[in-house]
Amino acid sequence: MIIVIRPHSPPDKVEEVIREITQLGYNASPIRGEYQTVVAAIGDETTRASLESLTALPQVERVLRVQKRYKLASRESQPDGTVIDAGGVKIGGDNFVLMAGPCSVESEEQLLATARAVKAAGATILRGGAYKPRTSPYEFQGLGPEGLRLLETARAETGLRIITEVLGENDVDLVAATADILQIGARNAQNFQLLIACARSGKPVLLKRGMSMRIEEWLLAAEYLLAHGNPNVILCERGIRTFENYTRNTLDLSAVAVAKQETHLPVIVDPSQGCGRADLVKILCRGAAAVGADGLIVEVHPHPAEALSDGQQQLDPDAFRELVAGLRPFVSAAGRVL
Amino acid sequence: MIIVIRPHSPPDKVEEVIREITQLGYNASPIRGEYQTVVAAIGDETTRASLESLTALPQVERVLRVQKRYKLASRESQPDGTVIDAGGVKIGGDNFVLMAGPCSVESEEQLLATARAVKAAGATILRGGAYKPRTSPYEFQGLGPEGLRLLETARAETGLRIITEVLGENDVDLVAATADILQIGARNAQNFQLLIACARSGKPVLLKRGMSMRIEEWLLAAEYLLAHGNPNVILCERGIRTFENYTRNTLDLSAVAVAKQETHLPVIVDPSQGCGRADLVKILCRGAAAVGADGLIVEVHPHPAEALSDGQQQLDPDAFRELVAGLRPFVSAAGRVL
Amino acid sequence: MIIVIRPHSPPDKVEEVIREITQLGYNASPIRGEYQTVVAAIGDETTRASLESLTALPQVERVLRVQKRYKLASRESQPDGTVIDAGGVKIGGDNFVLMAGPCSVESEEQLLATARAVKAAGATILRGGAYKPRTSPYEFQGLGPEGLRLLETARAETGLRIITEVLGENDVDLVAATADILQIGARNAQNFQLLIACARSGKPVLLKRGMSMRIEEWLLAAEYLLAHGNPNVILCERGIRTFENYTRNTLDLSAVAVAKQETHLPVIVDPSQGCGRADLVKILCRGAAAVGADGLIVEVHPHPAEALSDGQQQLDPDAFRELVAGLRPFVSAAGRVL
Amino acid sequence: MIIVIRPHSPPDKVEEVIREITQLGYNASPIRGEYQTVVAAIGDETTRASLESLTALPQVERVLRVQKRYKLASRESQPDGTVIDAGGVKIGGDNFVLMAGPCSVESEEQLLATARAVKAAGATILRGGAYKPRTSPYEFQGLGPEGLRLLETARAETGLRIITEVLGENDVDLVAATADILQIGARNAQNFQLLIACARSGKPVLLKRGMSMRIEEWLLAAEYLLAHGNPNVILCERGIRTFENYTRNTLDLSAVAVAKQETHLPVIVDPSQGCGRADLVKILCRGAAAVGADGLIVEVHPHPAEALSDGQQQLDPDAFRELVAGLRPFVSAAGRVL
Q: What is the domain-level CATH number for residue D200?
A: 3.20.20.70
Per-residue pLDDT, B162: 98
Distance of CA B145 to the CA centre of its chain: 25
D79 inside domain: no
Q: C171: closest CA among C190, C153, C188?
A: C188
Q: Evaluate if residue C44 carries a pLDDT over 90.
A: no
Residue of chain B with shortest Cα separation from A227:
B137
| Rounded CA Rg of chain C | 23
Q: Note whether B155 and B94 are same-domain residues.
A: yes
Q: Answer yes or no: is B123 within a domain.
A: yes
Contacts of B21 in chain C (CB under 8 A): none
Termini Cα distance of chain D: 45
Give the dihedral sign, CA D99/D103/D104/D108: negative
pLDDT tens-digit readout, B39-74: 999 988 877 888 999 998 999 999 999 889 999 999
B66 contact residues in C (CB cutoff 8 A): 2, 4, 33, 36, 38
Is any Cβ of chain C less than 8 angstroms from the Cβ of A332?
yes
Q: Are D243 and D270 within 8 A, CB to CB?
A: no
CA distance A326 to chain B (A): 20
pLDDT at D133 over 90: yes
The answer for residues whose C-beta is within 8 angstroms of residue C37's C-beta and 6 or more apart is C5, C9, C14, C30, C31
Between D191, D223, D306, which is nearest C136 by CB?
D223
CA atoms within 13 A on the CB side of A284: 34
- In contact, C297 and C268? CB cutoff 8 Å: yes
| Amino acid in position D162 | I
Nearest to C64 among B31, B45, B64 (CB): B64
Q: Are residues D113 and D44 in the same domain?
A: no
**pLDDT, tens digit (0-9, with 9 covering 90-100), for C202-226:** 999 999 999 999 999 999 999 999 9
The amino acid at residue C63 is V
For range C25-31, the mean pLDDT = 92
CATH number assigned to the domain comprising residue A39: 3.30.70.1140
Alpha helices, DSSP H, located in B69-214: 108-121, 145-158, 172-178, 192-201
Report A:140-179 residues touching C (Cβ under 8 A).
Answer: none
Chain-chain contact of A56 with B168 (C-beta, under 8 angstroms): no
Among the residues of chain D, which ranges form H helices? Answer: 11-23, 108-121, 145-158, 172-178, 192-201, 215-227, 253-262, 271-275, 278-290, 317-333
Interchain CB distance below 8 Å, C31 and B35: no
pLDDT at position D96: 98
Residue A336 in contact with partner chain C when CB distance is under 8 A: no
Q: Where residue C278 falls among pLDDT bands split at 50, 70, 90?
A: very high
DSSP labels, C110-162: HHHHHHHHHHHHT--EEE-BSS---SSTTS----THHHHHHHHHHHHHH--EE
Q: Mean pLDDT for chain C?
A: 96
Q: Give the gap in angstroms from C-alpha A160 to the nearest C-alpha of chain D.
A: 38
Task: Look at residue D234 in the predicted model and tell me its pLDDT.
Answer: 98
Query: Do A212 and B241 make contact, defined as CB atoms within 8 angstroms?
Result: yes
Q: Is residue D338 part of a domain?
A: no
Residue C48 pLDDT exceeds 90: no
Q: Which domain holds residue C44?
A: 2-64
Please list the pLDDT of chain A residue by residue as tens digits (338 residues).
Answer: 899 999 999 999 999 999 999 999 999 999 988 788 999 999 888 778 889 999 989 999 999 998 899 999 999 999 999 999 999 999 999 999 999 999 999 999 999 999 999 999 999 999 999 999 999 999 999 999 999 999 999 999 999 999 999 999 999 999 999 999 999 999 999 999 999 999 999 999 999 999 999 999 999 999 999 999 999 999 999 999 999 999 999 999 999 999 999 999 999 999 999 999 999 999 999 999 999 999 999 999 999 998 999 999 999 999 999 999 999 999 999 999 99
User: Residues for chain A: how many in total?
Assistant: 338
Round to whole Å and give the CA distance between A245 and D102.
29
Residue D77 in domain: no
* Radius of gyration (C-alpha) of chain D in whole angstroms: 23
pLDDT at D76: 92
CA distance A316 to A304: 6
Q: Which chains form contacts with chain D, at 3 or more CB pairs under 8 Å?
A: A, B, C
β-bridge partners, A5: A60
Same domain, D59 and D207: no
Instruction: Give pLDDT tens digits for B252-287.
Output: 999 999 999 999 999 999 999 999 999 999 999 999
Is D326 found in the same domain as D187? yes
Angstrom distance (rounded) from CA A68 to CA D6: 10
Phi-psi region of A229 (alpha: psi -120 to 50; beta: other; left: phi over 0): left
Residue-level pLDDT at D47:
79
Q: How many residues does chain D have?
A: 338
In this structure, the number of other CB atoms found within 10 A of the CB of residue C79 comes to: 8
Instruction: Give yes or no for residue C95 having a pLDDT over 80.
Output: yes
Q: Measure the CA–CA gap between C104 and C131, rounded to whole angstroms.
A: 8
Q: What are phi and psi of A195, to 5 degrees?
A: -60, -45
CB contact under 8 A, A2 and D44: no
> D323 and D246 in one domain?
yes
Whether residues A107 and A212 share a domain: the answer is: yes
How much is the CA Rg of chain B, to the nearest whole Å?
23
Residue closest to A203 by CA, chosen among A242, A175, A223: A175
d(CA A241, nearest CA chain C) in Å: 8
Chains contacting chain A through 3 or more C-beta pairs under 8 A: B, C, D
Backbone φ, ψ for residue D308 (5° rounding): -80, -10
Q: How many contacts (CB atoms, under 8 Å) link A and D? A: 56
Which D residues in the span 96-125 are in contact with C, Cβ-Cβ below 8 Å?
A: none
Burial class (CB in 10 A: 0-12, 13-18, 19+), C81: middle
For residues D171 and D129, the answer to whether their CB atoms sit within 8 Å is: no
Same domain, yes or no, for A198 and A294? yes
Give domain status of residue C318, yes or no.
yes
Question: How many CA atoms does the CB half-sphere of B277 hold within 13 Å?
Answer: 22
The answer to whether B291 contacts D284, with C-beta atoms less than 8 Å apart, is yes
If asked whether residues A211 and A297 sit together in one domain, one would say yes
By the CB < 8 Å criterion, does D243 face chain A? yes
Is some CB atom of chain B closer than 8 A to the CB atom of D215?
yes
Residue B245 within a domain:
yes
Q: Is the dihedral of CA A86, A91, A94, A96 positive or negative?
A: positive
Partners of D38 in beta bridges: D4, D31
User: C180 with C206: CB under 8 angstroms?
Assistant: no
Chain B interface includes C79 (CB < 8 A):
no
CB contact under 8 A, C53 and D304: yes
d(CA D46, nearest CA chain A) in Å: 11
User: CA A326 from chain center: how many Å?
Assistant: 26
For residue D310, what is the nearest residue in chain C, using CA coordinates? C53
Contact of C137 with chain D, judged by CB distance below 8 Å, is answered with: yes
* Residue among B53, B135, B224 whose CB faces A220 most closely: B135
DSSP letter, residue A250: B
From B296-305, C42-51, C71-80, D107-116, the region with the lowest mean pLDDT = C42-51
Select from A192, A162, A159, A160 the least CA-distant residue to A177: A162
Task: Tell me the chain A residues in contact with residue B224 when contact means C-beta distances shorter than 8 Å.
Answer: 137
Give the contacts of D19 (CB within 8 A, at least 6 positions apart).
none
Mutate to test the interface with D, among C23, C64, C191, C220 (most CBs of D within 10 A): C191
Indicate whether A192 and A290 sit together in one domain: yes
- Clarify whether residues C57 and C109 are in a common domain: no
Closest Cβ opposite residue A136 in set B212, B220, B311: B220
Residues D126 and D58 in one domain: no
The runs of H, that is alpha helices, within C228-277 are 253-262, 271-275
Decide if C75 is inside a domain. Answer: no
With respect to residue A72, please indicate whether it lies within any of the assigned structural domains: no
Average confidence (pLDDT) over D129-151: 96
pLDDT value, residue B46: 79
Q: Which amino acid is present at A316? A: D
Cβ–Cβ pairs < 8 A, chains A and C: 116
Which of A31, A42, A76 is the closest to D7 by Cβ? Answer: A76
Q: By the 8 A CB rule, do D256 and D288 touch?
A: yes
Indicate the number of domains in chain C. 2
- Band (pLDDT 50/70/90 cuts) for residue D49 is confident
Judged by DSSP in three states, B93 sits in coil
Q: What is the percent of chain C where pLDDT is above 70?
A: 100
Burial of A8 (C-beta count, 10 Å sphere; 0-12/13-18/19+): exposed
User: Taking 80 as the threshold, does the pLDDT of residue D34 lie above it?
Assistant: no
Residue C314, C-beta contacts closer than 8 angstroms, at least 6 positions apart = C102, C103, C272, C278, C299, C300, C301, C304, C307, D53, D56
In angstroms, what separates the C-alpha of B274 from chain D's closest C-alpha?
A: 9
Closest residue, chain C, to D280 (C-alpha): C56
Q: Could you tell me which chains touch chain C, where touching means 3 or more CB pairs under 8 A?
A: A, B, D
pLDDT tens figures, C101-133:
999 999 999 999 999 999 999 999 999 999 999
Give the three-state DSSP class for C3: strand
Sequence-ordered alpha helix ranges (H) in chain B: 11-23, 108-121, 145-158, 172-178, 192-201, 215-227, 253-262, 271-275, 278-290, 317-333
Q: Are residues D102 and D182 in the same domain?
A: yes
pLDDT band at D201 (very low <50, low <70, confident <90, very high): very high
User: Is the dihedral angle over the CA atoms D89, D94, D100, D104 positive or is it negative?
Assistant: positive
Chain B environment of A167 (Cβ under 8 Å): 192-193
CB spacing of B136 vs A55 below 8 angstroms: no
Burial D295-324 (b: 16+ CB within 10 A, else e): bbbbbbbbebbbbbbbbbbbbbbebbbebb
